[in-house]
Amino acid sequence: MKGLSVILALVLVFSVLVVQAPAAKADNFNYWARSYGGSGTDVINDVKVLSDGSIIAVGYTTSSGAGGKDVLVMKLSPEGSLAWAKTYGGTKDDVANAVALASNGDVIVAGLTYSFGAGDWDFWVLRLDENGNVKWQKTYGGESWDKANAVAVADNGDVIVAGDTWSFGAGNRDFWVLRLPPDGNLLGFSKDSNAKITLPSPDVWDSKAAVKDSSVTPRDSHAYPNPAELTVKTQYGPASLTINSNPSGADVYINGDYKGETPLIVQVSPGTHQVKLTKQDYQDYTATITLNPAESKTLNVELTPAFGYLTVKSNPSGAKVYVDGSYIGNTPLENYKLSTGQHSLKVTKQGYQDYTTTVTINPGKTTVVNAQLIPQPASLTIDSNPSGADVYIDGDYKGTTPLTLNLTPRTHQIKLTRQDYKNYTTTITINPGESKSISVTLTPALGHLTINSNPLGAKVYINGTYKGTTPLTLNLTPRTHQVKIVKITRITQPQ
């Protein structure tokens, strides 16, 4: 069977709920009456009160949603203001009959669905967070009608759902109770239920109810939560003032009394009130607001900064930045918040000269500094063995070894030349403020001397040193050498 009779579209919450809420302040009222709904049918079946006095109400609506009846969940303030409302459902009918609150603030909604599940009506359980977002949603049931009418949360977090079933039991319509884990999953029981219930055996006159295991089929559902478009009308109550600020988090004072931080909704008595907003680094905001009985007003405030921003860039980057002597970060430094006025700025980097200046910070504006750092000179010491070699840096003659030079920090070509020695070349990279030294042992440059004689076999002396006999080839340093060739020949006298 489909379609339920709908008879109620008015929620009346009196002192029965208020006694569980925190004590009312001077400007609050203990009693109120409000209706919530749209153009269709809107019914509340269960309510729970949170620790802060807020109210969670569940039921169904045909005023909005995915189609047919949809589950409706509303959160109200202790004064009855609508914090949020959402619908959950498919294209057919879905109804919430009960609600429970978990220890972590989650909202457990139980009811029945015709949009999802294994058969006609199925148990439907949704676990929502404190803002109504779905954590999980599951159906439980057989081929016939299964309707959840109550829900509770055990001390260990298990979810207890109770109702009636036409799918399981002794026949006709039976009680049906499910104990679910906190995530709602009945692992391994997607087809048949293995739960067993054993009745105690004392002699107790009881009804002859027959208890049988049920073959529950849990399935994930695919509800489409939509914001519920409800019209809230206050028949009697205080005025409501909503205060927003940019940025948020401003302290709100009404008639000198602290009320909280923005964004804030506060209930006040009808009349004229002084409103003051304060926030560090921003100018105070004050206004006078007049509200009529049951009137709702919204105050949107754009706070004026009492600060500005500093952006510091340097070439090269990675330099340390100091403002008024305090280190605040490395370049590039973007949008660092500073109080308005003048500040001393210093940018430092190893190997570079300090960059200093004075900056002026204007309210809400960004001051940009581009620091072009000047490298500290680098030092290079060059020595050679033997000394006295000519030194060329990037092709320019600089002197003879040993030699110390101040160079720009970069890569340089080094060349050493000396008579009778081979040229020496190298590349060296020197960083800002760095001191480097190189020591070079020069390689002699040799020439070739070939000596022949007739007759052969003459002894060869170079600079007085015997070198061998002709024919002979020698490697000699490029200079003047004394060469002596000697061969002794015996002369035989004729007889």
User: How open is the CA angle 205-207-211, to the nearest 5 degrees?
Assistant: 120
Calculated CA dihedral for residues 276, 278, 283, 288, nearest 10 degrees: -10
Contacts of 116 (CB under 8 A, 6+ apart): 90, 122, 124, 139, 219, 221, 222, 223
Read off φ and ψ for residue 18, nearest 5 degrees.
-65, -30
Where in the chain are the domains? 15-199+210-227, 238-302, 307-372, 378-441, 447-486
> What pLDDT score does 67 carry?
81
Per-residue tokens: 302: 């754009």
Are 453 and 470 in contact by the 8 Å Cβ rule? The answer is: yes
The reply to whether 378-441 shares the fold of 238-302 is yes
Residues 316, 142: Cα–Cα separation, whole Å: 73
Residues 100, 105: Cα–Cα separation, whole Å: 10
Fold of 378-441: Immunoglobulin-like (2.60.40)
> What pLDDT score does 38 carry?
81
> What pLDDT score does 382 carry?
95
> What pLDDT score does 323 carry?
96
* Mean pLDDT per 10-residue section of the chain, whose length is 495 residues: 31 32 46 80 95 94 86 90 88 94 96 84 91 88 89 96 85 84 65 24 33 56 63 57 96 96 90 93 92 86 91 95 96 93 94 92 92 89 94 95 90 92 92 88 86 90 91 84 86 66
Give residue-wise pLDDT tens across range 60-112.
Answer: 998 888 888 989 999 999 988 888 988 898 888 999 999 999 999 999 999 99
Per-residue tokens: 418: 């000396």
Are 206 and 160 in contact by the 8 Å Cβ rule? The answer is: no
> What pLDDT score does 190 carry?
28
> What pLDDT score does 234 carry?
43
User: How open is the CA angle 421-401-431, to the nearest 5 degrees?
Assistant: 115
Fold of 238-302: Immunoglobulin-like (2.60.40)
Give the CATH H-level superfamily of domain 307-372: Immunoglobulins (2.60.40.10)
> What pLDDT score does 187 carry?
53
SS3 of 67, please? coil
Write the DSSP assignment of 340-398 as a string of letters: SEEEEEEEE-TTB--EEEEEEEPTT-EEEEEEEPPBPPEEEEEEEESS--EEEETTEEE
Q: Is omega for the bond preceding 471 within 30 degrees of 0, making it cis? A: yes
The CA distances from residue 83 to 11, 31, 132, 230, 242, in Å, are 15, 18, 11, 12, 12
Sheet holding 483-486, edge to edge: 465-469, 459-462, 483-486
Contacts of 23 (CB under 8 A, 6+ apart): none
> What's the whole-model pTM score?
0.40
Per-residue tokens: 337: 């918040």
Residues 95, 474: Cα–Cα separation, whole Å: 113
Place of tokens 């669905």: 113
